[in-house]
Structure 1
Amino acid sequence: MTRPPVPPFTFETAAQKVRLAEDAWNSRDPVRVSLAYTEDSVWRNRSEFLQGREAIVAFLERKWAVELDDRLVKELWAFHGDQIAVRFQYGWRDQQGQWYRSYGNEQWKFSADGLMQRREASINDVPISPDGRRFLWPAGARPEGHAGLPDAVEELP
């Protein structure tokens, strides 16, 4: 199975890969997301370590049962050959109704067929008020033309 675009990446193909990953994540479909990874893909998500598509699906099912109504925006940070680095933010609420903004960075390494072999994510959560939410589109992919991530360093909450 080939998952275009494939490495080595150009600016355009790396940005396309990032947007495809964002759209899949915003689908909140663990199986769809897992198909972008090799069968034996290795993940580090915060302090959790996973390997393989089945573990990815189980992880995402657990995550989305706790992190409700999330909306994610990813942005290309850097790329080289078969690697891409992104920064991202997503807003979500817990079961008690507290909203959060999660800030993170990911490093990705791809196989020659365009599947992700390795994903390492560092993420921090900041409680926000409901009116502090940024990503307000209906569930699903971020609409074309919707603002990406802010360029300025943010004020502390």
Structure 2
Amino acid sequence: MHRFFPSASLIVALPLLIASAHAQDRIYRCGNEYTNNPQVAKQKGCTLMDGGNITIIEGTKPAAKPAAAPTAGAPAAAPRNGGERVDNAAQRARDSDARAILEAELRKAEERLAEAKKAYANGEPEKQGIESRNYQRYLDRVAELKAAVTRAENDVAGIKRELDRLGPR
């Protein structure tokens, strides 16, 4: 029987090799930047980061938009920051567009409400197929139809509230 006995130097060197394979360079933080170069870190006055591994994924930088002057005859684009006011003509045009959209949505919602009420038939819709033999299925469908009518009524009421918020024409 032949046994293998590793030498003492191999026993001492093995843990050092494993530790050095897993060792990570020191990471320095310089504001919002990171580096593992000690000379750069010393020049910039960076601080050493302690603790586990650090993963940094750089994002894309937004492209700067050139400031474009409004063309003649076209209203100035409205700022989104809320600090500046929009001229009256542009605001009236927006309000008019919003009213037209809401009125179209109101017509659609009223049509859906009329269809839902017709299908609901005041809580007594005609039985369909198996519902004549399965009364629970009929009751479930009636409950769904009633819920559809309620939703449609709420939609119409909500759109009317929005139109009222816009004020009179």
Larger radius of gyration: 2
- The answer, yes or no, to whether TM exceeds 0.5 is no
TM range (shorter): under 0.3
Larger strand share, 1 or 2: 1
Larger RCO, structure (CA 8 Å, separation 6 or more): 1
Larger helix share, 1 or 2: 2
